[in-house]
Amino acid sequence: MQPVGFVGLGLMGGPMAANLLKAGFELSVYNRSADKARTLGDAGARVVPLAREVATPGGVVVTMLADDKVLETLTTGPDGFGERLGAGGLHLSMSTVSPETSRRLAHWHAHRGSQYVAAPVFGRPPAAAAGKLWVVQSGETAAKARAQPILAAMGQGVFDFGEDPGAANVVKLAGNFLIVCVLEAFAEAQTLAQKNGIERKALSDFLTQTIFACGVFQNYGPVIAAGRADQIGFPLRLGLKDVRLVQQIAESSQTPMPFAGTVHDRLLSAVAKGRGEMDWTAFTLSVSEDAGVAPSA
């Protein structure tokens, strides 16, 4: 199998990289906090001190990073892997970033003879560990074909959205917007029920087993019902970042999105209350607080 470099070993990147090792890929890994690479090193990955050292000329580098700035710095910066990747290389970007960032990086790679595929994912850390992520991709056809064995080791399905490198990021942000709106609506329904004598868990069990028996409700419903946000699957501050990206795209394409303003303010309020490093479901605690009750199952 072709050697693969992996940059970004956080809550999602760590288990994703581990699945590449399990699939038999020769793996080099880099993370800004070196301690997060130790487990992968013990499992057989080559741990390197600089991002540029994950790249094999003409090889493949996968990135799973927190935001646009970090992605661009570790790709095109002085210690980035992009120049070393060079002609014939492939950058498989699985981060949730702006579509314009993806288009800009695709252009940057093209001038160096390398290719860029956007392949953000849907799923929380347990799904990443199980290799059950849903992947949305866009980019050049040949580059996507080359990426398929790598994506297959990390996900349960890949959905293609054409050759525009920014298209997959639009899909990812649209999906995250829908999820955060679902969380807000679910929290409002739970609080309404609670204030009218209905147990939150009872309502959650009913909804998630019947008319809303789908992954998002089943994953998040019990968490919101219990008023817990301590098991971090996705930090709240990154959820705020994603909603801001949604608003930027909406503004540039003249797309009114009033719900985006509501969830943005919920997330911003949660950050102001010191909840930015909690799971992003923590913003729903404010729904109960505004109603004068403490969330409880």
Catalytic residue IDs: 172
Q: Are 85 and 62 in contact (CB under 8 A)?
A: no
| Rounded to 5°, angle at Cα 243 from 241 and 249 | 105
Q: Amino acid letter at 46? A: R
Angle between helices 99-110 and 68-76 (to 10 degrees): 10
**C-alpha to C-alpha distance for 100 and 120, rounded to whole angstroms:** 14
12 phi and psi, to 5 degrees? -100, -45
**C-alpha to C-alpha distance for 221 and 201, rounded to whole angstroms:** 9
**C-alpha to C-alpha distance for 71 and 207, rounded to whole angstroms:** 39
Angle between helices 236-252 and 167-195 (to 10 degrees): 120
115 phi and psi, to 5 degrees? -125, 160
Using DSSP, state whether 152 is helix, strand or coil: helix
**C-alpha to C-alpha distance for 191 and 296, rounded to whole angstroms:** 10
